Structure 1
């Protein structure tokens, strides 16, 4: 599946006639020595593609139907990331960094695909849901990359300015995690993103083991919010007293867009909370999520 996806990406951008993207595939922009180079990821198939039952793939890629399906797969489904999450992230959100680090070729292949997606001519006109899914997946993948660069370690807080390290290039710009979270995701006025992005720590909302997609985004965001809020290791809720994650303190403004914090919590809580409930915030555990 992964090899086929790389092949499809290669063929799609080659046949689209985009000289800029084709050049990016064959010779990615050099990166600093400290960064694992994306050009270690091969976009050239290691095995010959067999013709389909209906027609040779060289003919199929020219059809409108194939182009529509391919565009959706590349820009919406994030298949490579989904495969990696399924393999290396448990249902509880624990990440097997040790094993993932051994097989980084596929992982860096996905980072390269993110760059291709970002540069695609349709990216700027994509829907809010498509852009949210893209940036949530990008944030999570970049966070995993940050850990892999420095693994083994006990906590992301062991690193100097972890959220300000500018390692990841999309198009002509180098990004850091702070910028993606505060200048892009939070400005999209969707407070539930805080339960979708992961900071590689125990007290964070867990890293989901499925990629976010535009078609399932509403359900995924709602489920992630409910799951985090009703997890007794993250929040303790009762009618008259709540002890909640510091996320609700750090990003209080985001949760008060359409009412009070209690109003927001009651949308997703299994316990009905009184507007007069006493409120405290839990200590944050920054131990690595493995």
Structure 2
């Protein structure tokens, strides 16, 4: 074979190899990109199923009929499976993401109670020696969201508190405790989230069993002590949040103490 013919043959072989390799690599690359984008383009979750369950098993005082809820646990599981398989996407609005995470926290808390019911307190679940953020019920990774092991602590601390500058979440997250905020008998919805959080704040601050407030003295819920750094964000203060919702007002000179927290189950 002459040098010219040999050169032509080699060039043809190289061209064929390049085309074959490209045919393999390009579809593979597109597949990876599509898979990556699929997890970030889902539509916001519909909370209707959860809303229906709350209306059925939670009364106007925020107390839960866990015994009755137990009979509908499969329906709750359907909702939780939907949450698990549809994590918030970047394109979701801030309120869509917040409503998702608040509902997730409260719904998974209900599931945790139902999984161990009957129980007198959420703190009776799990290890007898409870180390904060390590062995508590809130630290237990008993569910998945988007394929990742998840805990209630993670939702509260690493998602809601870290990613959103919104102290009012503490009026909405319900740890299944008597001293906690009222569990609404409706789901949180993106289009009315701010109104719902304001209603929670007013309900919580004006409940004498959870906050005893007068101009002379304020005995507040421990959540104002535990999450003081959240209440003080954006140059706000605890007294600012109290006065925003309480019918009785305080000032910076009003002595503040904190009530004991009752971890008894928020049961009807």
The yes-or-no answer on 1:136 pairing with 2:102 is yes
CA deviation string 1:29-74 (max 9, x = no partner): xxxxxxxxxxxxxxxxxxxxxxxxxxxxxxxxxxxxxxxxxx5xxx
Alignment size in residue pairs: 217
Query: How far apart, in 1, do the equivalents of 2:62 and 2:239 lie?
Result: 27
Q: Secondary structure at the match of 1:124?
A: coil
The yes-or-no answer on 1:164 pairing with 2:153 is no
The structure 1 residue matched to 2:255, chosen from 278, 282, 290, is 278
CA deviation string 1:185-218 (max 9, x = no partner) = 1121100000101000100001111100110001
Q: Distance in 2 between matches of 1:162 and 1:263?
A: 32
Deviations 1:229-258 (A, max 9, x none): 110010000112100000000000100113
TM superposition shift of 1:95: 0.6
Distance 2:69 2:241 in 1: 36
Is the Cα–Cα contact under 8 Å of residues 196 and 224 in structure 1 kept in the other structure?
yes
User: Which residue of 204, 218, 227 maps to 2:203?
Assistant: 227
Greater Rg, structure 1 or structure 2?
Answer: 2
SS state at 1:274 partner? coil
| Match in the other structure for 2:213 | 237
| Separation of aligned partners in 2, 1:85 and 1:139 | 14
Is 2:234 the counterpart of 1:265? no
In the TM superposition, residue 263 of structure 1 has moved relative to its aligned partner by: 1.6
User: SS at 1:210's partner residue?
Assistant: coil
Q: CA–CA distance in 2 between the matches of 1:262 and 1:153?
A: 36
Higher relative contact order (CA 8 A, sep 6+): 2
| Matches of 1:76 and 1:113, distance apart in 2 | 8
Q: Distance in 2 between matches of 1:103 and 1:252?
A: 38
Q: Quick one: distance in 2 between partners of 1:194 and 1:162?
A: 18
Which runs of 4 or more aligned residues in structure 1 lie more than 2 Å from their structure 2 counterparts after TM superposition?
A: none
Gapped regions of structure 2 (runs ≥ 5): 1-33, 36-42, 127-135
Give the match's secondary structure for 2:87: helix
Q: Does 1:104 align with 2:73?
A: yes
* Cα pair 1:167 1:174 within 8 Å, conserved: yes
Note the C-alpha offset of 1:115.
2.1
Matched, 1:180 2:155: yes
**Are 2:253 and 1:287 equivalent residues in the alignment?**
no
Indicate if the aligned counterparts of 1:137 and 1:212 stay in contact, CA closer than 8 A: yes
Deviation at 1:77, TM superposition (A): 4.3
Contact 2:218 2:255 in 1 (8 A): yes
Q: How much has 1:259 moved relative to structure 2?
A: 2.2
Over the aligned positions, Cα root-mean-square deviation in angstroms equals: 1.6
Which runs of 5 or more residues in structure 1 are unaligned? 1-18, 21-70
Normalising by structure 1, report the TM-score.
0.72
In the alignment, what sits opposite 1:86? 55
- CA drift of 1:103 comes to 1.9
Is the contact made by 2:171 and 2:181 (CA closer than 8 Å) also made in structure 1? yes
Distance 1:164 1:176 in 2: 6
Q: Which residue of 1 aligns with 2:232?
A: 256
Mapped to 2, the partners of 1:107 and 1:260 lie a distance apart of: 38
CA 117–139 in structure 1, closer or farther in 2 if over 3 Å, else same: same
1:124, distance to aligned residue in structure 2 (A) = 2.1
